[in-house]
Amino acid sequence: MCNGCRNCIAACPYGVIGINQQTGTAHKCTLCYDRLQGGLEPACAKACPTQSIQFGPLAELQQAADVRLAALHSQGATQAQLYGRDDKVYGGLNAFFLLMDKPETYGLPNADNAKLPSRNDVGGYLTAAVTAVLAVIAGLVAFRRRGTG
């Protein structure tokens, strides 16, 4: 149960998690979990008048996206690309986007920047461990027994 520590906000590379000041808990889109339980699609997909937001089985959406991308490329829109469709970003996303520019233009991390926070676990602790060894040696040198005082 969320206790409002906000570690998830520090970690989320898409900035989609926010803190509710009234409840003190973290919130983000759940794809309308309550509607899904009732066999309905998320409200955003239902309401979208231009079909820009689509919801459905992943394989079907991927197929539709591939067809759409091929059509755009054939029309000369060579800059069109699918974000999250392949495994370049976090091994592939279950929500993907048709972009007409670089991902970072849309506030999405590109493949180089799509990294997990845990990438720094080893480096962070290793630096601390090396520092600890050097600091303990320094302390022992400073406090070594002396005959005078």
Partner 1 sequence: MTRFLAEHFVQSPQWTWYILFYFFFAGLAAGAYVLGTLLRFSGDPRDEPAARIAFLVCFPATVICPVLLTADLGVSWWKFWHMMVDVTPGDTGLNFKYWSPMSVGVWGLLVFGFFVTVSAFDAWLSNRRSAGIVPMPLNRAFNVLGAVVAIFIASYTGVLLTVSNQPVWSDTWVLGGLFLASGLSGSAALLALLIRNRPDAGFSLGRLHQADGYFSVLELALIVVFFITVGAAGTLAREVPWLPLWAIAVAGVAGSLVEARGHLRMQTAGGAGTVAGVRLDTVVVSVLVLLGVLALRAAVIFSAQ
List phi, psi (to 5°) of 17. -100, 135
User: In this chain, which of 10, 34, 59, 75 binds partner 1, going by CB under 8 A?
Assistant: 10
Buried b (16+ CB within 10 A) or exposed e, 70-108: eebeeeeeeebbebbbeeebeeebeebeebeeebeeeeb
Does 4 contact partner 1 by CB under 8 A?
Answer: yes
Binding mask 62-101 for partner 1 (x = CB under 8 A): ----------------------------------------
Give the binding range for partner 1 (CB under 8 A) out of 40-48, 59-67, 72-80, 105-113.
105-113
In sequence order, which ranges of the chain are alpha helices (DSSP H)?
Answer: 7-11, 33-37, 43-47, 58-74, 121-142
Report how far residue 91's alpha carbon sits from residue 103's, in angstroms, rounded to the nearest whole number.
Answer: 16
User: In this chain, which of 46, 64, 79, 125 binds partner 1, going by CB under 8 A?
Assistant: 125
Does 37 contact partner 1 by CB under 8 A?
Answer: no
Give the binding range for partner 1 (CB under 8 A) out of 51-59, 68-76, 80-88, 130-138.
130-138
